[in-house]
Amino acid sequence: MYSTKVKSFVVADRIQQIQSIETNTMKKLLPAFLSIALAITATAAKEGGKKNKEKERIEVCFVLDTTGSMGGLIQGAKEKIWSIANEILSSKPTPELGIGLIGYRDIGDDYVTKVYDLSEDIDDIYAKLMKFQAGGGGDGPESVNQAIHEAVTKMKWDKKRDVLKLVFLVGDAPPHMDYQDDVKYQQVCQQAVKKDIIINTVQCGNNSRATPIWKEIAKLAEGDYVAIAQSGGVASISTPVDKEIALLNRELGGTVVAYGDASARRIVTEKSALADEATAEVAADRLSVLSLKSKAYSSFSGAAVAPGSIAVVDGDGDLIQSLASGKIGYDKIEDKKLSSKLKKMSAKDREKYLKEQVAKRQELQKRLEELLVKRRDYVSAEKEKLKKEGKADGFDAKVSEIISKRRK
């Protein structure tokens, strides 16, 4: 048996050994702990930076008079909606863009208003716009009050105050002030100001009864008033590379593989068909918009743009874009979301076909990007010429000018 004194010595010695081991262990582990701590701190700072890095957002609602006298403007809007979007998205940094659409006529016409909510899917908005045809009207005043009221109250506007929210009221006739159920424009403008929505007015033609009211609406809603030709006054800018871009547009459309349920596949097919029918200028502006959007998304998320991953149709539903971007793997493709043509293929033949489409798109988009750079430079120079000559007074030029001013 150890004496109490010996026991105490042994215990003390053991404690000292343990403390020595712990000290040496901590010395060895300390660099690793510090490395981990620094990595955690760096990651937290990076993530915090991402959260603080708010992307600029712009929301634009076009409220268009679609009565019989507005045929020229409606056609101009169809031709220039992609050009306007292209102008907005070409700025640095590239903002998020949502576009809404309201067509209005009058009581007794085929419809009073048609409302299409704000959407980042510009292909979808373009498809809606293409269905607008001029008709009805003819009695002077139109349902302007109802149209702008629905623009302010029915659109799903972003509630953040730093989001630029713009309405463009485009027409040639004053509002009916005798409709008892209408919320009159004075009250609508007050509602708009409270929601940080700016109403700009674009008067087509020179109707003397419309002019003072168009100006008043813009003033009350803290917007701008501009007057343009009855036809819309849009100027077409053709470039030396438009024909080649149009050919690439059709070839790229041929690589689209609709993916999703039957409804989703139908929508993608319709978008692709509409793009295929576009004029060379519209096709070029559209492809430029899709390129800018894809690059901006990749830049904001910190990822590189994968070859062939730039969208060919706006929104979801193109399997080739999903495969090229890595969003979907070849082994994760669901048969039920495929067309009957692809379902009939063997797994091996299907994968071969899809890989061929991805490779083809990569090659086409490489050439397209080179042409889009040349086209942007050419169009920019031509627009400057038009400004100097005092000819930049059409619908698209005035809208772009107002948006640019408001962003600053």
Q: What is the pTM of this model?
A: 0.85
The mean per-residue pLDDT over the stretch 54-60 comes to 92
- Under DSSP, is residue 96 helix (H, G, I), strand (E, B) or coil? strand
The pLDDT assigned to 27 comes to 54
Is 90 exceeded by the pLDDT of residue 38? no
- Which residue ranges make up each domain of the chain? 57-235+392-407, 242-386
The pLDDT assigned to 391 comes to 84
The pLDDT assigned to 134 comes to 95
71, 134 Cβ separation under 8 angstroms: yes
The pLDDT assigned to 308 comes to 83
Q: State the Cα–Cα distance between residues 204 and 231, nearest whole angstrom.
A: 7
Number of other CB atoms surrounding residue 69 within 10 Å = 19
294, 309 Cβ separation under 8 angstroms: yes
Element housing 228 (H / E): strand 225-228
The pLDDT assigned to 125 comes to 97
Question: What value does the mean pLDDT of the chain take?
Answer: 88
The pLDDT assigned to 105 comes to 97
The pLDDT assigned to 49 comes to 45
Q: State the Cα–Cα distance between residues 58 and 402, nearest whole angstrom.
A: 13
232: left (phi over 0), alpha (psi -120 to 50) or beta: left
The pLDDT assigned to 48 comes to 47
- Read off the tokens for 182: 């209408």
- Confidence label for 234 from pLDDT (cuts 50, 70 and 90): confident
Q: What are phi and psi of 229, to 5 degrees?
A: -65, 150
Is 90 exceeded by the pLDDT of residue 221? yes
The pLDDT assigned to 20 comes to 57
Q: State the Cα–Cα distance between residues 330 and 322, nearest whole angstrom.
A: 10
Element housing 198 (H / E): strand 197-204
The pLDDT assigned to 260 comes to 97
- Confidence label for 390 from pLDDT (cuts 50, 70 and 90): confident
* 276 vs 52, residue with greater confidence: 276
The pLDDT assigned to 54 comes to 75
Say which range, 25-34, 99-108, 273-282, 327-336, has the weakest mean pLDDT. Answer: 25-34
Work out the angle between the directed axes of helices 122-130 and 280-301 (0-180°, nearest 10): 150
320, 256 Cβ separation under 8 angstroms: yes
The pLDDT assigned to 306 comes to 81
* 93 vs 317, residue with greater confidence: 317
Is 90 exceeded by the pLDDT of residue 55? no
Query: DSSP letter string over 23-89?
Result: HHHHHHHHHHHHHHHHHHHHHHHHHHHHHH-PPPEEEEEEEEE-SGGGHHHHHHHHHHHHHHHHHHH
- Confidence label for 21 from pLDDT (cuts 50, 70 and 90): low
Is 60 exceeded by the pLDDT of residue 333? yes
Q: State the Cα–Cα distance between residues 156 and 176, nearest whole angstrom.
A: 26
Alpha helices in 90-157 (DSSP H): 122-130, 144-153
The pLDDT assigned to 33 comes to 45
233: left (phi over 0), alpha (psi -120 to 50) or beta: left
- Read off the tokens for 186: 């004075």
Alpha-carbon dihedral sign for residues 261, 262, 263, 266: positive
The mean per-residue pLDDT over the stretch 47-70 comes to 81
Say which range, 151-160, 246-255, 304-313, has the weakest mean pLDDT. Answer: 304-313
- Confidence label for 297 from pLDDT (cuts 50, 70 and 90): confident
The mean per-residue pLDDT over the stretch 225-240 comes to 91
Domain covering 57-235+392-407 assigned CATH 3.40.50.410 in the classification:
yes
The pLDDT assigned to 92 comes to 85
Q: State the Cα–Cα distance between residues 309 and 257, nearest whole angstrom.
A: 13
Is 90 exceeded by the pLDDT of residue 70? yes
The pLDDT assigned to 32 comes to 52
